[in-house]
Amino acid sequence: MAISQPSEVRPELSWSGWGDPGQASAPPDAILELLRSGLGVTRATPGPVSISGLELTPIRLDPATSEALAAIVGEANARSDQEARARHALGKSTLDLLALRAGAAIGAPDLVLAPASHAQIIQVLELCSRQRVAVVPFGGGTSVVGGLAPQSEGFASVVALDLRRMNGLLELDRESRLAVLGPGLLGPQAEALLAERGYTIGHFPQSFEYATLGGFAAARSSGQASAGYGRFDELVVGLKVATPAGSLILGRAPKSAAGPDLRQLILGSEGTLGVITELTVRVVPVPERRVYEGWRLPDFDHGVATLRRLVQDGPVPTVLRLSDEAETALGLARPGELGQSEGGGCLAIVGYEGTAQDVATRREAAADVLNAAGASPVDGAGEDWARDRYRAPYLRDALLDAGALVETLETVTFWSSLRGLYDAVGAALREQLTGQGTPPLILCHVSHVYPAGASLYFTIACAQLADPIAQWRAAKAAAGDAIMAAGGSITHHHGVGRDHREWLPAEVGELGIAVLRAVKQTLDPVGILNPGILIPAKSGAAAR
């Protein structure tokens, strides 16, 4: 039984865009003028039709199997109505939103199940394996890499497994500073339950408001305060996992030499190897003080060198990120202050969380490093970033409506390769999109830092062509090839999904793919879990 569950009703993510529809707004005039004069955006694009007007793929699930699945979770927790199917059909990538606007039939699950326990999930997976029904584990629905678009060919049907009812704080070990939590908890729900008891996970990705803990683990999420708290996969100590072959209980101790760490098979597996039903995560006391500052550095190279100096030699801030010249000039480093920013250079956001003494000590020492690097403080920039750090996806949606093609991509590499990767990805995107007659605006920031390297997060905007899906796929392919050639990873924290799957062999090698397939065969012999996601198909074979 749970110690506690969220007191508030879970907010629904917009079915046709990001977040709370009430917070959506039109782009600022300065941005609209840039679209017109700089990118040649001349026409708005129609938004999606109503949810009731969407064309969904026909239901294929036979009534007997549907009734049997409903009996496992309870009839009230098994839905096949238009709204439930539509809300579980796609994630939130630009390609997903463009598909909603295109008017073509949307591949939707035939049935949405909301189990309440590990035992119920085991029963669902056993039945679906017998009937060859594909199962898509569903957390918050925030995937931006096609992680909710399974292969349906070769399966009798597709069902979604919504984990929202598994949303409790199950155990709190204050001595070990560990919390056992349900996978269906949204980020704010988990933080609220822990804050009541004086603790925090410290994981705040841009998707924080609508993504779940299970999703954080399944995609190896990285939060905006990762420099201080670590990536989510570094915070996970234990996992309970339901698979078609049975249950996995992983994590007997914080560290072990008892063979390879099997937790790492599940972290980042994107629902293809099992369904996470419990997570044990490290927690820390709620910080006494939080301070966020803005610092302007002369240029991107100086900024990168300064971030590297801080993360390698200390003091290490809790938040450490750097916008390049273009992103700084446009104002996207400060989402609430969009428009042409004055002052030039590159804006760094530097934040500190902890006791008052710890914050003061690190802040003073870091200021010495920043001043020595030629940085100057920017009044209010840190507070602006903290206030508006979850707003950027709303702007993306508004720009799509205005006729722009806007998407993001991210990668990571070692410090010695960072500049080369930055240049290569930018060049590939400019060449591809300019060749299509839509020269782009490309912005970038360093979003996560480590002693050995850092991630780069690109935002790309250009005018939409008649087929913007094909337009972006071509640009994405060029960027993916450039990332591989320059020594980067195809993804740092968004996951693989469908969109990055074809580059995975280049990253881990064909033998690595064979290992993944072997694990998949052991845990999911029929291949029902999120087929076509993460693991490339064998040549001439259906994806599993």
Structure confidence by residue, pLDDT tens digits, 489-535: 999 999 999 999 999 999 999 999 999 999 999 999 999 999 999 99
- Exposed, middle or buried, 13 (CB in 10 Å: 0-12/13-18/19+)? buried
Question: Is pLDDT above 60 for 340?
Answer: no
Q: Which of 19-23, 112-116, 133-137, 324-328 has the lowest mean pLDDT?
A: 19-23
Question: Is pLDDT above 50 for 544?
Answer: no
Q: How confident is the model at residue 46 (pLDDT cuts 50, 70, 90)?
A: confident
413 contact partners, CB below 8 Å, separation of at least 6: 421, 453, 454, 456, 486, 487, 488, 489
Contact 147/498 with Cβ under 8 angstroms? yes
CATH assignment of the domain containing 303: 3.30.70.3450
Residues 208 and 184 in one domain: yes
Q: Is residue 41 part of a domain?
A: no
Distance CA(331)–CA(516), nearest Å, equals: 42
For residue 316, what is the DSSP state?
A: P
Average pLDDT, the chain: 94
CATH assignment of the domain containing 229: 3.30.465.10
pLDDT given at position 337: 58
User: How many domains, the chain?
Assistant: 3
SS3 374: coil
Structure confidence by residue, pLDDT tens digits, 177-201: 999 999 999 999 999 999 999 999 9
Smallest CA-to-CA distance from 349 within 170, 522, 226 is with 226
Domain closes at, from 366, 388, 410: 388
Would the CA dihedral through 385, 390, 391, 393 be positive or negative? positive
Structure confidence by residue, pLDDT tens digits, 284-308: 999 999 999 999 999 999 999 999 9
Distance CA(31)–CA(445), nearest Å, equals: 19
Q: Is residue 501 part of a domain?
A: no
Q: Is residue 117 part of a domain?
A: no
Place of tokens 């924290």: 493
pLDDT given at position 538: 80
3-state secondary structure 480-527: HHHHHHCCCCCCCCCCCCCCCHHHHHHHHHHHHHHHHHHHHHHHCCCC
142 contact partners, CB below 8 Å, separation of at least 6: 13, 91, 92, 207, 210, 211, 215
Residues 449 and 377 in one domain: no
Q: Tell me the residue length of the chain.
A: 544
Smallest CA-to-CA distance from 17 within 468, 396, 495, 406 is with 396
Q: Is residue 503 part of a domain?
A: no
Residues 340 and 269 in one domain: no
Q: How confident is the model at residue 48 (pLDDT cuts 50, 70, 90)?
A: confident
Residues 330 and 422 in one domain: no
Q: How confident is the model at residue 331 (pLDDT cuts 50, 70, 90)?
A: confident
Arithmetic mean of pLDDT, 24-31: 82
CA angle, residues 443, 444, 450, in degrees to nearest 5: 175
Domain closes at, from 485, 503, 534: 485
Domain closes at, from 388, 413, 433: 388
Residues 323 and 364 in one domain: yes
Distance CA(300)–CA(323), nearest Å, equals: 8
CATH assignment of the domain containing 462: 3.30.300.330
For residue 53, what is the DSSP state?
A: G
Structure confidence by residue, pLDDT tens digits, 155-175: 999 999 999 999 999 999 999
210 contact partners, CB below 8 Å, separation of at least 6: 11, 13, 19, 140, 141, 142, 186, 187
Place of tokens 């060049």: 427
Residues 281 and 173 in one domain: yes
Threshold 0.85, pTM exceeds:
yes
Residues 378 and 421 in one domain: no
Distance CA(129)–CA(275), nearest Å, equals: 14
Helix-then-strand count for the chain, H and E: 19, 18
Distance CA(254)–CA(159), nearest Å, equals: 35
Structure confidence by residue, pLDDT tens digits, 398-417: 999 999 999 999 999 999 99
Amino acid, res. 329: A
Q: How confident is the model at residue 338 (pLDDT cuts 50, 70, 90)?
A: low
Percent of the chain with pLDDT over 90: 88
For residue 89, what is the DSSP state?
A: T
Distance CA(109)–CA(88), nearest Å, equals: 7
Higher pLDDT, 42 or 378: 378
**Which two structure tokens, joined as six digits, stand for 334?**
């400060």
The CA R_g of the chain, rounded to the nearest whole Å, is 23
Question: Is pLDDT above 60 for 110?
Answer: yes
Question: Is pLDDT above 80 for 56?
Answer: yes
Q: Is residue 515 part of a domain?
A: no
Torsion angle of C-alpha atoms 135, 137, 142, 148, degrees rounded to 10: -20
Distance CA(111)–CA(138), nearest Å, equals: 12
Q: Is residue 9 part of a domain?
A: no
β-strands 199-200, 284-285 pairing: antiparallel
CA distances from 278 to 20, 274, 281, 417 (A): 28, 12, 10, 38
Residues 328 and 433 in one domain: no
β-strands 157-162, 133-138 pairing: parallel
pLDDT given at position 211: 97
Q: Side by side, which strands form the sheet with 178-181? A: 169-173, 178-181, 275-282, 236-243, 246-250
Residues 186 and 207 in one domain: yes
Smallest CA-to-CA distance from 223 within 125, 290, 321, 130 is with 321
Residues 422 and 370 in one domain: no
Q: Is residue 82 part of a domain?
A: no
Question: Is pLDDT above 80 for 343?
Answer: no
pLDDT given at position 542: 44
Arithmetic mean of pLDDT, 152-156: 95
pLDDT given at position 10: 86
Q: Which of 22-36, 59-73, 474-488, 530-544 has the lowest mean pLDDT?
A: 530-544
Distance CA(135)–CA(121), nearest Å, equals: 11
Residues 293 and 397 in one domain: no
φ, ψ dihedrals at 331, nearest 5° = 95, 5
Q: Is residue 453 part of a domain?
A: yes
Q: Which of 111-125, 296-310, 338-352, 424-438 has the lowest mean pLDDT?
A: 338-352
Residues 432 and 328 in one domain: no
Domain extent, residue 434, equals 392-485
Question: Is pLDDT above 50 for 543?
Answer: no
State CA 478 to chain mean position distance. Answer: 22
Distance CA(229)–CA(319), nearest Å, equals: 9
**Which two structure tokens, joined as six digits, stand for 195?**
């804050």
pLDDT given at position 421: 98
